[in-house]
Chain A
Amino acid sequence: MKAFRTLWASAGLLWLPGPALSAWQLNLPVPRSEIARQIHDLHTLILWVCVGIFVVVFGVMFYALWRHRKAAGHAARHFHENTAVEVAWTAIPFLILVGMAWPATRTILAQKDTSDPDLTVKVTGYQWKWEYDYLQEGVKYLSVLATPREQIENRAAKGEHYLLEVDEPLVVPVGRKVRVLLTANDVIHAWWVPALGVKQDAIPGFIRDTWFRAAAVGTYRGQCAELCGRDHAFMPIVVEVKSEADYRAWLADRKAKLAAAAAEAGKAFGLDELKARGEKVYAANCAACHQPDGKGIPGVFPAVDGSKVALGPRQGHIEVVLHGRPGTAMAAFGPQLSDVDLAAVVTYQRNAWGNRTGEAVQPAEVRALRK
């Protein structure tokens, strides 16, 4: 009931000055790639053809509705057949369609041509985040929704890029042909950036490819476009298109960070350090299902708070997280997270809420249990 009250209250408020961002956008986004431009033009073409046909056909119909009313004293004629017009209105639409199919065919062939890329990125969909893997560079990271929970639950004002912001965007150089290899880890997702004119399903167990060449520097936003479970609405895509030089700089910086992380893995951490880091990992990766309070959703996602696994032997706990539970929504996090992050999140789960084991799990233990 409370929910309904807030609904109506905010209904009144929101109606008045629409948030500045409600752009009343009526058409496809401004195209920022050659393919997107072709799509845009194609849509414009078909739209106007359809509007034209609509006006002609329904012009005739509404004229008849008006003039040939009984109330206007019109008497019915009893003609009911004419082969010539039947042929005409079969043939003419057919020719119109041929006219539309021609440009569409060209665009399809262009879309499908993924040869000779300048850069190849492997993109993997997970419930509910993306992983970007620059195959030639050895750079690989996860990209997760950055909008805070409070905004989603209406406890804080919504930011400009509400639901369309991530912690780590995909970064690519401008004007280069980027080939995207798509796959998924659990269920089907779809990688979609409207302004660049790409959408491709990510199918678990298969690699499918697509490509784009961004025409201008900028930030382009999209969303997962295939129902993938609970947080389907919350796995956006952000592509940062940089100049060649900026891109190089970003890549160097990334590589340096990776080296630092690798050095870290051998280190032993303190309990508080692990807990603090684990809380972040938990919020980004686990809270969607097991909930921020660790209570889960009864019947769907088990509670970690007070769970036998989280209070039992460490090995069992680490293994669940590393390898997942096949056949359930609990995915294997081994391939996604580093040893340090895994150690941190397990430590966090063993010491958060009502769980008080006081144990710190070290990265080395995780590494030992990896297959």
Chain B
Amino acid sequence: MQATHAPEHGHGPPGGLMRWVTTTNHKDIGTLYLWFAGVMFFVAGSMAMLIRAELFQPGLQLVQPEVFNQLTTLHGLIMIFGVIMPAFTGFANWQVPLMIGAPDMAFPRMNNWSFWLLPVAAAFLVGSTLLPGGAVAGGWTMYPPLFIQGGISYDLTIFAVHIMGASSIMGAINIITTILNMRAPGMGMMKLPLFVWTWLITAFLLIAVMPVLAGAVTMLLTDRNFGTHFFDAAGGGDPVLFQHVFWFFGHPEVYILILPAFGIISTILPTFARKPLFGYASMVYATASIAILSFLVWAHHMFTVGLPAGAQLFFMYATMLIAVPTGVKVFNWVATLWRGSMTFETPMLFAVAFVCLFTIGGFSGLVLAMAPVDIQLHDTYYVVAHFHYVLVSGALFSIYAGVYYWLPKWTGHMYDERLGRWHFWLSAISFNVLFFPQHFLGLAGMPRRIPDYALQFADFNRISSIGGFVFGASQILLLIVIVKCIRGGARAEARAWEGAQGLEWTVPSPAPYHTFLEPDVAERHLSPPLPQAGGPPSGDEGRGEGYAPELR
């Protein structure tokens, strides 16, 4: 596919600050997303440090309970909407066009807007800490009627969610359109790199559920300010209605937070095993199955609200089913490593840790899926342990893996491998010290979202906090590695990793400001079937929807 620029548009980037504010280049915007996620990670991480410091021992030391609740709520909201989601979108911006041989995203201007909405929302969330009454303290799940009680920052949070939702929807439309419409000739659907596939499905989930979240918080807004009774029994409403709507969004959301991670891991493992991904097609089907099932399980977050037995059974069975396609993914990864020729650079270390630790998180998810057991464990630290295993050693570690993997492509330099390994080992060990004991706390009966606890929970909390401080401090290493890598280091070749496959490694490192402006460039590299794709290299079967040769 050939590309034309607006006449006034040169080949290089314009200089200065306005470059970043007005840019329509997918690489610039990817960079913006990634930096934004990094900054927000340190903001939300600092909140986690305060949480762990307060929980270091029983009694109230550092913060008052309402401040503690604000920290917890903002930590959760920012980590999810301000760190993981933007980081993945940053990867998509950088990599999807490179991987499918497209000159840019389908809607470059809208792409810019998707990003520049995020700072507005972030300003609302972080800025609300300064308002009278402080920030939101109702939990990231925003359950009414507690959420109805709050002050001005609650309305600001609702609008922040609206804005982030708009940003995500536009981002998702952009990505989905790019993938369906802008593939280089010869790049059939079953030849797409798995990262692209997982993002395609993630984008679909985003478009399906972010509007539902917008609807949910809109009802909160009107219940708070305009006298409606959606969530008030006196008017025939029901607080539990909110939970249904929220989790209809919320459960697919957690797969939004993990599917791109699956894609990154499926890219990295074959590279360092020097062996094609095992079971490409079944990986694609498993991803799609996870996405479909994710719409049918939401009430597993609500086993204690008093659902009828039939509903509990349905949601329990459906939730357990998700273990099957997820297991397929894990088994395929292990089979990819089997009889490979492995080396253990930092991206590979994080990827292997991901497979192992994410599975632990998946298993604790399965324990929670058993409705009777969840009755004991709901709203305890067991849940906190579960979701940090899937979110930190899952989503976050995959982001780390991806950053190390593609840094050479982005900067043109190799990162400092020694520091990278330090970062990995410190993170992986302290992560387990931080979150593994929380399983015990939850089983023993420590509720979540509390600033103070009974004495029997003291020991494990202390250990967890110490792990937390080490984990937090280790993340400074990441920052150092990235800055060092941007400023210099060994020159990276076009194919920075010996085993790396895919179109992005056919362009120089750092990737030029514009790539694949001429369609034949991509086509040349695509002519032998991509070794990474397992699917049969057949003629037209791969030319999925949206591919219309006459449009070229």
Contacts and interface: CB of A to CB of B under 8 A. Distances in A.
A327 B328 CA distance: 50
Interface stretch (A217-225, A262-270, A278-286): A217-225
A77 interface: yes
B89 interface: no
Interface stretch (B141-149, B161-169, B513-521): B141-149
Contacts of A208: 305-306
Given A61-B355, A154-B59, A208-B305, A94 B134 contact: no
B143 A188 contact: yes
A67 to B, nearest CB: 9
A10 interface: yes
B124 interface: no
Chain A interface bracket (under 10, 10 to 19, 20 to 34, 35 or more):
35 or more
Interface stretch (B10-18, B78-86, B359-367, B420-428): B359-367
A194 B450 contact: no
A97 B134 CA distance: 46
B324 A108 contact: no
Interface stretch (B35-43, B211-219, B393-401, B439-447): B439-447
Contacts of B148: 327
Contacts, number: 320
A291 to B, nearest CB: 10
A364 interface: no
Interface string A175-209: 00000001000111010101001111101111011
A227 interface: yes
A249 interface: no
B379 A230 contact: no
A227 B458 CA distance: 21
Contacts of A29: 444-445
B60 interface: yes
A308 interface: no
Interface string B307-348: 011001100110011011001101100111111111110000
A78 B501 CA distance: 14
Given A50-B367, A97-B321, A61 B58 contact: no
Interface string A74-112: 111111111001100110011001001100110111011
B119 interface: no
A19 interface: yes
Contacts of A75: 341
B328 A188 contact: no
Nearest to A195: B445
A54 B359 contact: yes
Contacts of B460: 24
B452 interface: yes
A70 interface: yes
A18 B60 CA distance: 18
B367 A205 contact: no
Contacts of B64: 297
Nearest to B321: A97
Given A94-B324, A108-B313, A161 B66 contact: no
B435 to A, nearest CB: 15
B276 to A, nearest CB: 4
A85 B151 CA distance: 57
Given A86-B282, A227-B138, A57 B331 contact: yes
A70 B151 contact: no
B444 A78 contact: no
A158 interface: yes
Contacts of A297: 64, 66
A256 interface: no
B549 interface: no
A225 B447 contact: yes
A25 B452 contact: no
Interface in B439-481: 440, 443-445, 447, 449-460, 462
A295 interface: no
B383 to A, nearest CB: 11
Contacts of A69: 341-344
Contacts of A3: 61-62
Given A7-B56, A10-B57, A86 B328 contact: yes
Contact of B452 (A38, A54, A233): A233
Contacts of A194: 376, 445
Contact of B133 (A23, A187, A300): A300
Given A61-B355, A71-B343, 8 more contacts: A22-B455, A47-B367, A54-B363, A76-B340, A89-B327, A112-B309, A186-B149, A204-B145
20 contacts: A3-B61, A11-B462, A22-B457, A42-B372, A61-B334, A61-B337, A64-B337, A64-B339, A68-B341, A101-B317, A104-B316, A105-B313, A158-B58, A162-B58, A188-B145, A200-B306, A203-B239, A204-B145, A206-B306, A299-B131
Interface of A: 3-4, 6-7, 10-11, 14-15, 18-19, 21-29, 35-36, 38-39, 42-43, 46-47, 50, 53-54, 57-58, 60-61, 64-65, 68-71, 74-82, 85-86, 89-90, 93-94, 97, 100-101, 104-105, 107-109, 111-112, 151-154, 158, 160-164, 182, 186-188, 190, 192, 194, 197-201, 203-206, 208-210, 222-234, 297-300, 327-329
Interface of B: 53, 56-62, 64-66, 69, 131-134, 137-139, 143, 145-146, 148-149, 151, 232-234, 238-240, 273-282, 304-306, 308-309, 312-313, 316-317, 320-321, 323-324, 327-328, 330-331, 334-344, 352, 355-356, 359-360, 363, 366-367, 370-373, 375-376, 378-380, 440, 443-445, 447, 449-460, 462, 534
